[in-house]
Amino acid sequence: MSHIIFGEKRIELDEGQTVLSALLEQGYDIANSCRAGVCQSCLMKAVEGEIPVEAQTGLKDTLKSQGYFMACSCKPDTPLHIATDANEGLQSSAKVIEHTLFNKDILCIRLKPEENFEYNAGQFISVWKGAKVGRSYSLASVSELDDYLELHIRRIPDGVVSNWLHDEVKVGDTLQIRAASGNCFYTPGMPEQKILLAGTGTGLAPLIGIARDALKQDHTGEIHLVHGTRHVDDLYLHQTLLDMTRQNNKFNYLASVLQGDENQPAVSSVPIEKQLIDVAGDLKDCKIFLCGDPDMVNNLKRKLFMAGASMNNIHTDPFIASNA
């Protein structure tokens, strides 16, 4: 006999009973489908306690390491404390310590959180303008290397938050932010694995974070980063990435542009997927991160899968625009 704590409530489990069955019995409306540990409809997040191995079989590493498990396959031997809303983070304050433009559209903001702020490089946080309007931005910083959070903000025409951040927010202001989430981040455990990072626009932010995090964690396999933009002038942090390539023999940076002068180091008009496939060797064994424009992300995901990548190794973060 064990028990779970769901939010505040203690619920006893019968011998061999699953967390899902106990919660349904108590009248909670928990999403579920196959009840066989396959479809992952009943994903929940444990905040404390030991998760049985079977409850995480088949989950991506990034979900596992965050404490996600499948309620239908979870028969805990010891008490398990479960979050009632895994997506709900607490709002916290952070001071703007840097506010500079990378190029005409993209702003770099660095924030100093007022209290300890846990995240994995590559995850995203939300920034709030008032109580009602929040937007998600990916983290380009690495918690073990940087004492600030770095966000890359593209100005969206009529964008409520992006224009506010560009035009009104200044160094010294305090912003409200919410906890990091998302499963595009580096997980240790396979240091020799080749890593492919690709993104468009500010999809570069999480990719830089993941690359720096991997290098910091002594990743020994090759890390290839491809940044795609429409025009060569839309590239940013180009020199920083060239410097990173020079300083780390495991790291390699390539830019894929549709228009503009290609006579620059690392810049070419070769499409992103072609560049990735060229450097991949056997795609099956590569860990792949795709961030940025949703059409690009889904397109690349399909192309790389068809070219041999394993679905389990593809992590994506499509930047879905807000309708508001």
Q: What is the DSSP letter of 54?
A: G
Q: Which is nearer to another protein, 36 or 90 (CB)?
A: 36
Q: What is the C-alpha separation between 91 and 271, in angstroms, rounded?
A: 40
Q: Could you give the CA distance from residue 40 to residue 32 in angstroms, rounded to a whole number?
A: 8
**1 or 36: whose CB is closer to another protein?**
36
Minimum distance of another protein from residue 287's CB (angstroms):
15
Min dist CB 311 to another protein, Å, is: 5
Shortest separation between residue 40's beta carbon and another protein, angstroms = 5
Residue number, 34 or 321, with CB nearest to another protein: 34
Q: Which is nearer to another protein, 171 or 311 (CB)?
A: 311
Positive or negative, the CA dihedral 136, 148, 317, 100 is positive
Distance CA 191, CA 208 (A): 18
Apex 219 CA angle, 110 and 303, nearest 5:
85
Q: Which two tokens stand for residue 294?
A: 């949703």
Binding-site ranges for another protein (CB under 8 A)? 34-36, 38-40, 57-58, 298, 301-302, 305-306, 310-312
Tell which residue, 2, 41, 34, 40, has the closest CA to residue 18: 2
219 vs 315, beta carbon nearer another protein: 315
Least CB distance to another protein at residue 55 (A): 14
Q: State the minimum distance, in angstroms, from the CB of residue 109 to another protein.
A: 31
Instruction: State how far the Cα of 57 lies from the Cα of 68, in Å rounded to an integer.
Output: 11
Provide, rounded to whole angstroms, the least separation between the CB of residue 72 and another protein.
Answer: 9
Nearer to another protein, 20 or 204 (CB): 20
- CA distance readout (Å), 318 to 141, 211, 246, 297: 19, 18, 30, 6
